[in-house]
Each structure stands twice: as structure tokens, then as C-alpha cells.
Amino acid sequence: MDYPGNLFVVAAPSGAGKSSLVKALLELDSHVHLSISHTTRAPRGQEKHGRDYYFASQSEFDAMVEANAFVEWAHVHGNRYGTSKKAIEERIAQGSDVILEIDFQGALQIRQAFANAILVFILPPSWEELRSRLERRGEDSPEVIEVRLKNAATEMAEVGKFDFVIINELFERALFDLKAVVHAQRLKYAAQRRARADTFQSLNIT
């Protein structure tokens, strides 16, 4: 189905800066709305239920899976994450642009459900920098960091399945690139025709 709103899906290995980039984009562009995922993991730091994630128990998550409430869900680093199909459909059907930040498995599942989804992959500039970022974050043990790096190799092998690739070496440059992806999508013919219907009509463009 062709929805009036755009659906942007941002994926990256842990530590590549995906969450920081998406947060910065949301602060700059009020027309982009974050799709909040459900997860069985515990909140980190200042994360809040309903703002950063919907934190669910294992049984609550199971019930949503049974009800086919998720357009995608996956096991990531020992926890489960899922995206509500209804929540996305309602937003983009109203003409809003929606952005998801999820793992690469979920991103590819989203593409199956929403053929026009725009997939963006964030890469680190090097393995050394990725390790350094994970260590500086101070959230994981050395053993967990090794698992994340191993998973990153698997995730980055799928980058060719994405529409856009951004290398997050300099944050401001990476943010500029992400904004450019969003802006370019809004300038496509179908999007412009929906957004500027009066202009197209006055110019006799069908």
C-alpha cells in the first residue's frame, strides 16, 4: 500500500551512534516522529517507558507476538525487541514521516511489510573506533563488548541490502547526511505531489 507519509528505518551495529543521530534529527525536524519499540530488556540510565521504549515483561511480549501485533520482532543481545505495525500504519497514513531505529534483522523485516520503507545503515569509521566507543560507553563488561563486536561483523555484512549508508566518523557530518536522506525523500515526485497538491493542480500537472 502507498502511504502519504515516509517510513525511515535506521540500523547500525551497537556503538555506531544510531541512537544519538536519530535523537539529534528529531530535535531538528519536528515533522519526523519516532516509532517507539517494545522490548523485554530493563531500562538503561534515564530511559523512560513510553518515551524511549515500551518496556514489557516476557509474558506481555509473548501475548503481543501471539496477537500478531508486531510487524517485526527479534532477539538482540539476549533481549527481544518488536515494532507495532498498527502504530506505524496510523502515523504514515496521516501523512507523517516516521523513523525507526532498530537492528538489521528488524529493518529487513520492515521492508517486507512496507515495500517503500527507506533503509539507512550507520557504519563506524573503523573497528578500533567501534571498540573504543563501546568501552567509553561504560555499560558493558569486556565479555559483552566482545559479543557486540562479533554481532557487528554479522550486521555489517548485510549493509548492501540498505538504500543509504552513512559513516559516522564526524557526528555533525553524519547528522548532515541523515538530514539529507530525509530531505531527498521528501523531494521525490510522489511525495511532492502529495505535499503540494494545489501547486501541481495549478500547473496542470497530473
Q: Is 45 annotated as a binding residue?
A: no
Whose CA is closest to 110, among 1, 2, 9, 11?
9
12 is in an annotated binding site: yes
Say if residue 16 carries a ligand binding annotation: yes
Of the candidates 35, 54, 57, 44, the residue with the CA atom closest to the CA atom of residue 14: 44
Is 157 marked as a binding-site residue?
no
Residue 126 annotated as binding site:
no
What is the C-alpha separation between 170 and 151, in angstroms, rounded?
Answer: 23
Distance CA(24)–CA(63), nearest Å, equals 33
> Cβ(71)–Cβ(109) under 8 Å?
yes
DSSP-assigned letter for residue 12: -
Q: Helix (H, G, I), strand (E, B), or coil: what is residue 200?
A: helix
Q: Sheet with 97-101: list strands edge to edge.
A: 32-34, 97-101, 7-11, 118-123, 164-167
Residue ranges of the annotated binding site for ATP are 12-19
Residue ranges of the annotated binding site are 12-19
